[in-house]
Amino acid sequence: MKRCWDSNPNNRPSAIEVGEFIRLFRSRKNEEIEKQFIEAEEYRKTNLLSVENIQSTTHHPQAYYTSRLLNSYTKDLSKYDNINNNSVEIVDFTMISADDEDKYK
């Protein structure tokens, strides 16, 4: 998976290689790939920045611009969670089973 993030595009896997890794993962023939996906998902979940962490950061005294949360724009976002807006579906690869194969083609 780290190869996908390589700064040199020549070191990144091709789409065919990525597709093969996903096929191996879905068929569970390669437990190492499954282990890597699970570890990556756990890492992602434990390293999400919380709102408190973002707000508690200190800023350099000579900084001209600082990032800030747009609370007036984001406070009501949760009420739009269930609206069908043709957005991309995010799939948790750790939860896909062989029964779901036709669903994600």
pLDDT band at 16 (very low <50, low <70, confident <90, very high): very high
pTM of the model: 0.30
Question: Which comes out higher in pLDDT, residue 70 or 4?
Answer: 4
User: 25-72, pLDDT tens digit by residue?
Assistant: 777 766 777 788 889 888 888 777 654 555 556 667 777 666 666 666
Please provide the DSSP assignment of the chain as one string: -GGGG-SSGGGSPPHHHHHHHHHHHHHT--HHHHHHHHHHHHHHHHTPPPHHHHHT----TT-S------HHHHTTGGGGTT----PPPP--GGG--GGGGGGG-
pLDDT at 95 over 70: no
pLDDT at 8 over 80: yes
Unique residue bearing structure tokens 């029964």: 99
pLDDT at 63: 72
Least Cα distance to 94 among 34, 46, 22 occurs for: 34
